[in-house]
Amino acid sequence: MGSSIRKAIELILSADPELLNILSTTAKVCLTSSILALVLGVPIGILLGAERFPGRKVLLVLNRTLIGMPPVVCGLLFYMLFSGVGPFRHLHWLFTVKLMILAQVVLITPIIVGVMETFVADTAPALRETARGLGFGRMKEYRLLMNECLYSIFSAYLLSFARAIAEVGAVAMVGGAIAWKTNVMTTAIMMYTNRGSFTLGIALGLILLTLSLLVNIVLSVMQGRLSR
Amino acid sequence: MKTTAFTKTYNKRVVLDLPELMLPEGKITAVIGPNGSGKSTFAKILAGIERADDRRAIFSGVTVGYLPQKSFPFRMSTEKNILQNGNDPARAAALMKALGIEALAGQSAKKLSGGETARMALCRILMKRYELLILDEPTAAMDMESTLSAEECIRAYCAETGCGVLLITHSLSQARRLADRVIVFHEGKLIEQGECVQVLSKPKQEKTKRFLEFYGL
């Protein structure tokens, strides 16, 4: 165990090409999917939290269901849609980074929607009463609401990024964990562990843990600054 | 300014049933009454925050300002909060000084105490000129010194702008100090209205007398 960890650290320090490739694929998939999910999730979450309209409760239940959707089910769904018998087979997206990103967007957007909806539903009524009492228009009301949401947006993003980087089921199914092409950190750990090659697995595990620690440190620092 | 007659129903229970009302310009009208008599609902309907049963706005073409019981501090400094309602730093500074919060100008409004938030909120609403200003218990969270300063600011605003002020209050002594006219609510109905001195000293209605006796007047 001790020697495996030492070798893993040496592998990280030596900038192993395969390790770097896995890291770059992971960064591409996770950053793109979390940013896309943020762009989609924040307005939907704010809308669901701030407005009351027919069908809102149905959408909330649907979103909560999607938050709990097992990643392998998401992976299976996209596999069927994009495989040789699926309606989107002509796109040839199966076992590509594009489809991995799409599957992750579907997995993590509901998390962002949920975080934003909860915060806005709690904040919007009091803010709206004050803003309308002052005679502010709808645009100014939304601008002030967005300003209140800054920390929530930030923490929702980090939460979704953490979920994306730790996700394995969906990306393994639609990406196929192809070395030098669609292998990300989590799928690579599984692949190398199955092969009995622990060194790269441990190296990737250490990087994942370090990233998780960094995310939490950034979140704690920003919490103090943005909540002011 | 004249309000139309309206009713408000919650869960099939009529919580407000009011006739037409006159709210004179340049005067302060206090609304008093026991808890649950519909004072705050009345204020919200007049301000357009809530709608009466017939869904019509009570005022159209009238600029109404409304200060809720618990005003929301926006996530920015105290001064910026106040300037949100009118970019006049000199007026903001004067109001902050009058209400004793000038030292808190640069502090985050989220960090203010309840009384400080109430003073900031009053400064903010007094930045703009409204035709009708509705204040729902604006001094409830303030100490006596701040309350007296706030009352002075409200009186000055009313005199300067000539706008009508509707003051929802639990404090009969505040109504006596500040109001020109008084409206008394009981169980969602208007039971008495008139000049402040007359209503508080010689009420005509038995329910008003009982309410005033209960509060020690």
CATH of the domain at A125: 1.10.3720.10
Give me the total of CB pairs closer than 8 Å, taking one residue from chain A and one from chain B. 53
Q: Which of A8-22, A86-100, A129-143, B120-134 has the lowest mean pLDDT?
A: A8-22
Q: Rounded mean pLDDT of A202-217?
A: 86
Give residue A201's pLDDT band: very low, low, confident or very high (50, 70, 90): confident
Q: Rounded mean pLDDT of B110-117?
A: 97
Q: What is the mean pLDDT of chain B?
A: 93
Most confidently modeled of A6-10, A62-66, B202-206?
A62-66
* Domain residue ranges of chain B, discontinuous segments joined by +: 2-7+14-73+130-214
pLDDT one-digit tens code per residue, B145-191: 999 999 999 999 999 999 999 999 989 999 999 999 999 999 999 99
Tokens of B135: 């204040």
What number of CA atoms fall less than 13 Å from residue B164's CA on the CB side?
19
**Distance of alpha carbon B194 from alpha carbon A45, whole angstroms:** 49
Tokens of A179: 């070395």
**In sequence order, what are the beta bridge partners of B182?**
B30, B194
**CATH dotted code for B2-7+14-73+130-214:** 3.40.50.300
Task: Supply the pLDDT for residue A35.
Answer: 96
How many structural domains comprise chain A? 1
pLDDT one-digit tens code per residue, B65-84: 999 999 999 999 999 999 99
A132 close contact with B: CB closer than 8 A: yes
* pLDDT exceeds 60 at position A18: yes
Task: Supply the pLDDT for residue B217.
Answer: 56
CA angle, residues A118, A120, A124, in degrees to nearest 5? 140
Beta strand segments in B27-131, E: 28-32, 64-67
Q: Rounded mean pLDDT of B27-56?
A: 92
Task: Evaluate whether A205 touches A14 at the Cβ level (below 8 Å).
Answer: no
Tokens of A29: 């998939």
Of B49, B64, B108, the CB nearest to A129: B49
Give residue B64's pLDDT band: very low, low, confident or very high (50, 70, 90): very high
Task: Evaluate whether A175 touches A100 at the Cβ level (below 8 Å).
Answer: yes
Of B68, B75, B121, the CB nearest to A148: B75
CA angle, residues B77, B80, B85, in degrees to nearest 5? 140
Which of A122, A130, A222 to mutate: most B Cβ within 10 Å? A130
A144 with B64: Cβ contact below 8 A: no
Task: Evaluate whether B43 touches B168 at the Cβ level (below 8 Å).
Answer: yes
Name the percent of chain A lying above pLDDT 70: 98
Higher pLDDT, A222 or A227: A222
From residue A141, alpha-carbon distances to A50, A83, A124, A130 in Å are: 11, 46, 9, 9
Contacts with A127 from chain B: Cβ below 8 Å: 72, 74
Name the percent of chain B lying above pLDDT 70: 99
Name the percent of chain A lying above pLDDT 90: 73
Most confidently modeled of A133-137, B13-17, B22-26?
A133-137
Q: Rounded mean pLDDT of B26-33?
A: 95
**Distance of alpha carbon B139 from alpha carbon B151, whole angstroms:** 8
- Candidates A12, A3, A1, A2; CA nearest to A206 is A12
Residue B168 C-alpha, separation from nearest chain A C-alpha, in angstroms:
15
Domain that holds residue A22: 2-226
The residue written with tokens 């896995």 in the block is A22
Amino acid at site A130: T
Give residue A27's pLDDT band: very low, low, confident or very high (50, 70, 90): very high
CB < 8 Å from B in window 139-198 of A: 144, 147-148, 150
Task: Supply the pLDDT for residue A199.
Answer: 84
pLDDT one-digit tens code per residue, A126-149: 999 999 999 999 999 999 999 999
* pLDDT exceeds 90 at position B56: no
From residue B8, alpha-carbon distances to A132, B5, B68 in Å are: 20, 11, 19
Task: Supply the pLDDT for residue A1.
Answer: 65
* Shortest CA distance from B46: residue in chain A: A133
